C-alpha cells in the first residue's frame, strides 16, 4: 500500500506543533535557544567583519587610535564572544538532552490517563511500540525536532547574513561598470542565474541522496528490532537458555544472526556509498560557487568597487554560506523524512477519551451505606460482536459481603470492571444511590474502591511506597496494615524497614519476596486506602483451593464492617458470604447463601459445588 504523502503546509504545522510541545516540556529553553542562535551568528562573522575593517583602515591610513581599537575588537571581542558562545552551546546541549526522555514521559502520562479500554487494545500498544522503536533505533520522532530545528534556524540566519553581504557585493557592479548600466545589469543577472542554478543542482543531488540514505535506515529498523529481541529478550532469559541447550538451537540462532548482520551491514554500506556520492557532487558544486564568487571579488577589486580588506569579509561570508547551505539542506531533508514520525507521536496524544467523566460529587456518608444497582446491563468489548454480559440486573447494599462465582469466562471480572467504571455498559445503566454512575465525578467515584485483581502487579519500589502508592505516607498506618495481613515479621527483617526496595531488579539492596508475600502486599495496599468498597478479583487463582479459602476467610476478618466483594470460580472460598451471586454466560442465574443454593439440585451452583468438592474436602 502506497504511503500517503504529507502536504508541505501540513508538514509545517505538524513540526511546529511538535517543536512547541518539546519546548513546553523544557521550561526556559526557548529563550536560551534564541540567545544561543544569536550569539552563534555574531561569533561566525565577528572575525570577518572586524578583520576586514582593520585591513581597510590600514590601507586608508587611519589613526593609531582607530587601529588599536580595531585590534581590541578583533582579539578581545572575539575571545569574549567565543566564551559566551561555548557556554550557551553547552547549556543548550545539556538542557536539550532532556528532549529524549521528556517526550517519552509525556507519552507515559497519556497512557496512564487514557480510557482503560485502550490499555487492553493491541492496536494501541502497537502504535506506542512503533513510536518507541523509531526513537530508539534511528533517533526519529518528536524528540529529534529539538536537534533539527535549532540548527536549521541558525543556519538559515547565517545564510541570510551571508547572502545579504553577497547581494551588496554584487550591487557594487554598478560602481565597477560606472556609465554602463546595461553591462552592469547583465553582469548581475548572469551572476545570480549561475549562482541559483548551482544551488538548485546541489539541492537536487542532496535530496535524492538523503532520501535513499533514509530508506536504508528504515530498512534497518526491523532488522535492529529482531537483533535486539534475540540478544536481550531471548538469549538472556533463563527459561530461553534451557530451550537453547535442550533443543540445541545454537546453530539455528547463529545462522539467523549472520543473516541479520549481513542485512544490517548491507544497508550501512549502501548508506555509505550514497553519502560518498552526495559529498562528491556537493563538493564539486561548492567549488564552482566559490570560483564564481572569487571571480566576482577579483572583478570588483580590480575596478576599485571594493577595498582589498573587504575581500576577507566577502570570501569569509561565502565560505560560511556554502557550509551552512549544505548543512541546512541535509537537516531539511531529514526533517521532512522525520515528519511522519512526529505525526505518529501527535496522533497518539490526540486519541480522544470516550468516557464521560461527570461532575456530580459522590455523597459523603458516615455510615458508608450505598446502594449499587445493575439495571439491564449488557456489555461487549470494543471490536467484538459477542456480549460478555447480557441483560444483567442485580442490586445490592454496600456494607455486605457479596461472593461472585461462576465458571471461567462467565463474566465475573467484566462485572468488576463495569462496577469500577473501567468500562461503561454497552446497554443499560449502573446506579449508585439511584443515580447513573456516569454522572458522578470520575475521580471521586473511583475513590470508593480498592481492588486486588487476579493479575495484580507489585512494582520494584520501596515497601512503604508500594503499600501507600505515594512517596509521602503515614508510616504507622502502613506498618499497621502490614501487621494485619501477616507481614509484620517480613517488615522486621527488612534492612531499611519501609524504605527497603522490593525485588532486586534495579537495586542490589532490594529484597525479593515470594508470590504469597506479594499477594499480602497487594491486600495491604487495598486496606491502607480505607475505601468503602474492597474487592478481591481472584488474586489467589494460582493457589490450591484450601490456601485460597484461608486467605479469603482471613481477609474477611480484615475488612471489618466495610463492603467486600469476592470473585472466584471456586465455590469453597466464598462459603462464609451470606450473599452469593452465580454468573453463567454473562447472566445472573442464581443468588442466595450457600445453604440455599446447594439445595437447588437443578442449579449451576449445585453442579459446580459437587464437581469441585473433591479438591477441597479433607480427611477427617
Per-residue model confidence (pLDDT) at position 118: 85
- Count the residues in the chain: 620
Rounded to a whole number, what is the distance in angstroms from the first to the last CA of the chain?
Answer: 70
The edge-to-edge listing of strands for the beta sheet with 389-397 is: 389-397, 371-379, 427-432, 435-436
Q: What are phi and psi of 391, to 5 degrees?
A: 45, 55
Asked if residue 535 has pLDDT above 70, the reply is yes
Sign of CA dihedral 330, 333, 336, 342: negative
The DSSP call for residue 7 is P
Cα–Cα separations (whole angstroms), residue 85 to 23, 91, 320, 485:
21, 10, 17, 61
Q: Name the pLDDT band for 367 (thresholds 50, 70, 90).
A: low
- Cβ-based neighbour number of residue 378 at 10 Å: 15
Q: At 583, which CATH number?
A: 3.40.50.300
577 shares a domain with 451: yes
CB-CB contact of 371 with 432 (8 Å) = yes
Residue 202 lies in a domain: yes
Per-residue model confidence (pLDDT) at position 498: 93
CB-CB contact of 464 with 478 (8 Å) = yes
- Cβ-based neighbour number of residue 143 at 10 Å: 25
CB-CB contact of 142 with 225 (8 Å) = no
CB-CB contact of 538 with 569 (8 Å) = yes
Asked if residue 151 has pLDDT above 80, the reply is yes
Q: Name the pLDDT band for 465 (thresholds 50, 70, 90).
A: very high
Residue 474 lies in a domain: no
519 shares a domain with 418: yes
152 shares a domain with 252: no
Residue 419 lies in a domain: yes
410 shares a domain with 291: no
Per-residue model confidence (pLDDT) at position 619: 42
Helix axes 64-72, 29-59, angle to 10 degrees: 150
Residue 477 lies in a domain: no
Residue 470 lies in a domain: no
Per-residue model confidence (pLDDT) at position 195: 77
Nearest partner of 172 among 311, 5, 349, 27, judged by Cα? 311
566 shares a domain with 527: yes
387 shares a domain with 346: no
Q: Tell me: the pLDDT tens digits for 380-432?
A: 988 788 899 999 998 887 667 888 988 888 888 899 999 999 999 999 999 99
346 shares a domain with 250: no
Q: What ranges in 408-497 are assigned the alpha helix state H?
A: 412-419, 442-446, 463-468, 475-484, 488-493
Rounded distance between C-alpha atoms, residue 616 and residue 130, angstroms? 48
Q: Which of 146-150, 416-420, 615-619 has the highest mean pLDDT?
A: 416-420
Rounded distance between C-alpha atoms, residue 396 and residue 577, angstroms? 13
- DSSP string across 342-411: HHHHHHHHTPPP------BPPPP-TT---EEEEEEEEE--TT--S-SEEEEEEEEETTSEEEEE-STTSS
Element at 573 (helix H, strand E): none
Domain containing 58: what range?
A: 1-172+339-353
Residue 314 lies in a domain: no
Paired sense of beta strands 449-453 and 533-537, if any: parallel
242 shares a domain with 126: no
16 shares a domain with 89: yes
CB-CB contact of 584 with 546 (8 Å) = no
140 shares a domain with 82: yes
Element at 231 (helix H, strand E): none
Q: Tell me: the pLDDT tens digits for 78-130?
A: 889 889 989 988 888 887 777 778 888 888 889 888 888 888 888 888 888 78
Overall average pLDDT of the 243-257 stretch: 83
Rounded distance between C-alpha atoms, residue 156 and residue 324, angstroms? 8
Select the more confidently predicted residue: 204 or 503: 503
Q: What are phi and psi of 564, to 5 degrees?
A: -130, 135
Asked if residue 618 has pLDDT above 50, the reply is no
CB-CB contact of 273 with 267 (8 Å) = no
Per-residue model confidence (pLDDT) at position 208: 79
Cα–Cα separations (whole angstroms), residue 230 to 19, 158, 255, 397, 513:
35, 47, 12, 53, 29
Rounded distance between C-alpha atoms, residue 309 and residue 416, angstroms? 83
Per-residue model confidence (pLDDT) at position 348: 92
The DSSP call for residue 462 is B
Q: Tell me: the pLDDT tens digits for 338-359?
A: 888 899 899 999 998 887 778 8
245 shares a domain with 143: no
525 shares a domain with 421: yes
Residue 450 lies in a domain: yes
Residue 332 lies in a domain: no
Q: Is 590 left (phi over 0), alpha (psi -120 to 50) or beta?
A: beta
Percentage of the chain modeled with pLDDT above 70: 93
Q: What is the 3-state secondary structure (H, E, C) of 510-564?
A: CECCCHHHHHHHHHHHHHHCCCCEEEEECCCCCCCHHHHHHHHHHHHHHHCCCEE
Paired sense of beta strands 587-592 and 401-405, if any: unpaired
Per-residue model confidence (pLDDT) at position 331: 80
Per-residue model confidence (pLDDT) at position 336: 80
Rounded distance between C-alpha atoms, residue 406 and residue 607, angstroms? 11
The DSSP call for residue 438 is G
Structurally, the chain folds into a number of domains equal to: 3
Write down the mean pLDDT value for the chain: 82
Q: Name the pLDDT band for 136 (thresholds 50, 70, 90).
A: low
Q: Tell me: the pLDDT tens digits for 539-595?
A: 666 566 666 666 777 777 777 777 888 887 777 777 778 889 999 989 999 999 888
Per-residue model confidence (pLDDT) at position 620: 37
CA angle 511, 514, 520 (to 5 degrees): 100
CA torsion, points 555, 557, 561, 562, in degrees to nearest 10?
Answer: 0
The DSSP call for residue 437 is G
CB-CB contact of 230 with 254 (8 Å) = no
Select the more confidently predicted residue: 35 or 213: 35
C-beta contacts of 156-161 below 8 A and 24+ residues apart: 156/324, 156/328, 157/37, 157/41, 158/40, 158/41, 158/44, 158/320, 158/321, 158/324, 159/321, 159/324, 159/325, 159/328, 161/41, 161/45, 161/317, 161/320
Amino acid at each position: 500500500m502506497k504511503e500517503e504523502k504529507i502536504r508541505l503546509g501540513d508538514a509545517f504545522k505538524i513540526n511546529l506543533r511538535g517543536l512547541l510541545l518539546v519546548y513546553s516540556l523544557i521550561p526556559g529553553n526557548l529563550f536560551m535557544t534564541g540567545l544561543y542562535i544569536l550569539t552563534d551568528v555574531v561569533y561566525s562573522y565577528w572575525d570577518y567583519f572586524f578583520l576586514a575593517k582593520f585591513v581597510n583602515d590600514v590601507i586608508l591610513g587611519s589613526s593609531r587610535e582607530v587601529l588599536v581599537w580595531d585590534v581590541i575588537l578583533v582579539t578581545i571581542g572575539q575571545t569574549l564572544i567565543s566564551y559566551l558562545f561555548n557556554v550557551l552551546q553547552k547549556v543548550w546541549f545539556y538542557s536539550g538532552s532532556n528532549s529524549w526522555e521528556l517526550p517519552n514521559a509525556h507519552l507515559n502520562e497519556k497512557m496512564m490517563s487514557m480510557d482503560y479500554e485502550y490499555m487492553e487494545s493491541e492496536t494501541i500498544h502497537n502504535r506506542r511500540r512503533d513510536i518507541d522503536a523509531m526513537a530508539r533505533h534511528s533517533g526519529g520522532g518528536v524528540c529529534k525536532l529539538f536537534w533539527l530545528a535549532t540548527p536549521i534556524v541558525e543556519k538559515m540566519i547565517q545564510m541570510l547574513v551571508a547572502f545579504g553581504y553577497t547581494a551588496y557585493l554584487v550591487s557594487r557592479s554598478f560602481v565597477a561598470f560606472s556609465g554602463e548600466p546595461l553591462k552592469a545589469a547583465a553582469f548581475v543577472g548572469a551572476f545570480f542565474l549561475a549562482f541559483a542554478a548551482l544551488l538548485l543542482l546541489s539541492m537536487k543531488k542532496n535530496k535524492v541522496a538523503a532520501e535513499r540514505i533514509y530508506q536504508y535506515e528504515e530498512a534497518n529498523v526491523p532488522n535492529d528490532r529482531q537483533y535486539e529481541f534475540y540478544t536481550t529478550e531471548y538469549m538472556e532469559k533463563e527459561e530461553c537458555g534451557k530451550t537453547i541447550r535442550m533443543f540445541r538451537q545454537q546453530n539455528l540462532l547463529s545462522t539467523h544472526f549472520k543473516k541479520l548482520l549481513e542485512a544490517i551491514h548491507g544497508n550501512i554500506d549502501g548508506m555509505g556509498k550514497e553519502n560518498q556520492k552526495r559529498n562528491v557532487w556537493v563538493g564539486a558544486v561548492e567549488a564552482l560557487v566559490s570560483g564564481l564568487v572569487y571571480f566576482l571579488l577579483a572583478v570588483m577589486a580590480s575596478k576599485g568597487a571594493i577595498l582589498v580588506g573587504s575581500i576577507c569579509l566577502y570570501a569569509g561570508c561565502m565560505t560560511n554560506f556554502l557550509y551552512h547551505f549544505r548543512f541546512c539542506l541535509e537537516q531539511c531533508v531529514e526533517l521532512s523524512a522525520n515528519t511522519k514520525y512526529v505525526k505518529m507521536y501527535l496522533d497518539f496524544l490526540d486519541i480522544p477519551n470516550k468516557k464521560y467523566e461527570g461532575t456530580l460529587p459522590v455523597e459523603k456518608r458516615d455510615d458508608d451505606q450505598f446502594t449499587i444497582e445493575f439495571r439491564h446491563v449488557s456489555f461487549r468489548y470494543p471490536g467484538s460482536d459477542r456480549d460478555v454480559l447480557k441483560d444483567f440486573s442485580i442490586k445490592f447494599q454496600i456494607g455486605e459481603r457479596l461472593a461472585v462465582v461462576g465458571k471461567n469466562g462467565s463474566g465475573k471480572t467484566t462485572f468488576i470492571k463495569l462496577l469500577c467504571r473501567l468500562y461503561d455498559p454497552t446497554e443499560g445503566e449502573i446506579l449508585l444511590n439511584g443515580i447513573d454512575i456516569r454522572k458522578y465525578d470520575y475521580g471521586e467515584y473511583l475513590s470508593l474502591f480498592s481492588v486486588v485483581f487476579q493479575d495484580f502487579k507489585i512494582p520494584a519500589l520501596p515497601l512503604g511506597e508500594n503499600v501507600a502508592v505515594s512517596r509521602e505516607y503515614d508510616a504507622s498506618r502502613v506498618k499497621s496494615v502490614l501487621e494485619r495481613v501477616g507481614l509484620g515479621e517480613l517488615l522486621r527483617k527488612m534492612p531499611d524497614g519501609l524504605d527497603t526496595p522490593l525485588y532486586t531488579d534495579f537495586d542490589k539492596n532490594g529484597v525479593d519476596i515470594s508470590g504469597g508475600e506479594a499477594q499480602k502486599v497487594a491486600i495491604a495496599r487495598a486496606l491502607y486506602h480505607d475505601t468503602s468498597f474492597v474487592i478481591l478479583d481472584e488474586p489467589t487463582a494460582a493457589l490450591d483451593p484450601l490456601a485460597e479459602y484461608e486467605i479469603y476467610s482471613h481477609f474477611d476478618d480484615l475488612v471489618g464492617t466495610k463492603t467486600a466483594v469476592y470473585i472466584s470460580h471456586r465455590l469453597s472460598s466464598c462459603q462464609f458470604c451470606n450473599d452469593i451471586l452465580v454468573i453463567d454466560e454473562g447472566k445472573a442465574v442464581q443468588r442466595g447463601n450457600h445453604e440455599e443454593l446447594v439445595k437447588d439440585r437443578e442449579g449451576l451452583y449445585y453442579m459446580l459445588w459437587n464437581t469441585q468438592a473433591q479438591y477441597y474436602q479433607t480427611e477427617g
